[in-house]
Amino acid sequence: MDHVAILRKSRVSKGDNLLGDILEGTKTIESRWYVNKVSPWDNIKRGDTVYFKESGCPVTAKAEVSRVLQYDKLDEPTVQAIINKYGRYIAPRTPLADLHLWGRQQTKKRYCILIVIKDVVRLKPFDIDKTGYGVSSAWLAVGDIAKVKVRV
Report if residue 150 sits inside a domain: no
Residue 109: closest CA among 73, 81, 82, 66 = 73
Domain limits for position 118: 2-144
Per-residue pLDDT tens digits of the chain, which is 152 residues long: 999 999 987 555 556 688 999 999 999 999 999 999 999 999 999 999 999 999 889 999 999 999 999 999 999 999 999 999 999 999 999 999 999 998 888 878 999 999 999 999 999 999 999 988 877 789 999 999 999 999 65
Report if residue 151 sits inside a domain: no
Report if residue 70 sits inside a domain: yes
**What's the longest Cα–Cα distance across the chain?**
48
What predicted TM-score, i.e. pTM, was given to this entire model? 0.91
Report if residue 152 sits inside a domain: no
Residue 106: closest CA among 86, 79, 68 = 79
